Copies of this chain bind each other. A is one copy, B any other.
Amino acid sequence: MVVVMQERASDEQVQKVIAKLVEMGFDVHRSTGALRTVLGAVGSSRNYDTALIEVLDGVQEVMRITEPYKLASRTFKPDNTVITIGDLRIGGDEVIVMAGPCSAENENQVEAAAAAVKRAGAKVLRGGAFKPRSSPYSFQGLGEEGLRMLRAAADRHTLKLVSEIMDISQLEMMDRYADILQVGARNMQNFHLLRELGRSKKPILLKRGISATIEEWLLSAEYILAGGNMNVMLCERGIRTFESYTRNTFDISAIPVVQKLSHLPVLADPSHGTGKRDKVAPMARAAVAAGCDGLLIEVHADPDHALSDGAQSLFPSQFDRLMAELRIIAPAIGRSICLEPVTKRGWGGSR
């Protein structure tokens, strides 16, 4: 921590700050200049509150010099984390596409979406069984029955499955069905849940809260990592700004920023990031061009009749076209998408 004293700070005030820093467990280096005194405080703890110093008399400003997170930082682990699930590698050379319906509605709808996304080159099926909805009067999901449908469809099409967990009480059930447990934006700071997931063996996909700073996002990842689960991937999905034309402002610059600060894979969800179908493809292309490690995209065989998020779900033909565009873009940054096109091996037929 660096403490900058005011120009007119008295020696007594400086001494009081030093005493407080020592009490907090820091070694203090004092540097007195012509105009003002600056104190450098060095210690081993990450667990302190700079505001305690800020309120002391004579203090002008206090600055941290360590990130408040540790396990999530590139300082701690310089090499990229690659998460492996069977033959799937997230964070490697291939950009992994996870796609499917917002929520499972019935057997046919899940099967149609799974077939479509597999055919186009997705590696992971996405789909919700429990839906967090702003309004108590909206569709809330099928629960375990939905999970069963999603698992069966994923197996039929040799896809992995990612699905959102909303409460600790669902953990055991989710564990039986999903390959990746997703933490939604509204739960990014549900610390009870994060702590529990730290004890899970399953990889976690942690979405950024709509008003979370990048530091807070990495601190939430730290909760999971500190519990022993090192398989955390991050997912940008839009932040709240003054601009109201789009539901959120999809913060693509967060992708290179996080990649510099952390070794964890970073994905992007342009469906929730924009909320409008015709903006999904441009933003998916942009995210890949910016260097993301994967995408989450909502695809529905009949979006007009989806029970949730229909307006931001792609038609299968739109998804096919997007995947073709992404295959052109990825090599620009030395990445690939769906290296072994399934069409050559006959999955899902004659595209």
Contacts and interface: CB of A to CB of B under 8 A. Distances in A.
Nearest to A226: B136
Contacts of A242: 211, 213, 239-242
A63 interface: yes
Contacts of A209: 211
A350 interface: no
B246 A249 contact: no
Contacts of A186: 189-190
Contacts of A132: 189, 191
B333 A285 contact: yes
B251 A243 contact: yes
A25 interface: no
Given A260-B278, A311-B49, A329-B289, A195 B134 contact: no
A55 interface: yes
A253 B239 contact: no
Interface in A232-246: 239-246
A22 interface: no
Interface string A191-214: 110010000000000000111011
B331 A278 contact: no
A285 B332 contact: yes
A263 interface: no
Interface in A25-57: 29, 31, 33-36, 38, 40, 42, 45-47, 49, 51-52, 54-55
Contact of A192 (B7, B46, B61, B167): B167
Contacts of A2: 2, 4, 38, 63, 65
A325 to B, nearest CB: 4
Contact of A277 (B55, B211, B275, B278): B55
A229 interface: no
Interface stretch (A114-122, A143-151, A173-181, A216-224): A216-224
A290 interface: yes
Count class of interface residues, chain A:
35 or more
A279 interface: yes
Contacts of A255: 282
Nearest to A287: B286
Nearest to A326: B332
Contact of A167 (B35, B55, B168, B328): B168
6 contacts: A6-B75, A51-B275, A213-B244, A215-B245, A250-B252, A252-B286
Interface of A: 2, 4, 6-8, 20, 29, 31, 33-36, 38, 40, 42, 45-47, 49, 51-52, 54-55, 60-61, 63, 65-66, 68-69, 75, 78, 132-139, 166-169, 186-187, 189-192, 195, 209-211, 213-216, 219-220, 222-223, 226, 239-246, 249-257, 260, 273-279, 282-283, 285-291, 303-304, 308-312, 325-326, 328-329, 331-333
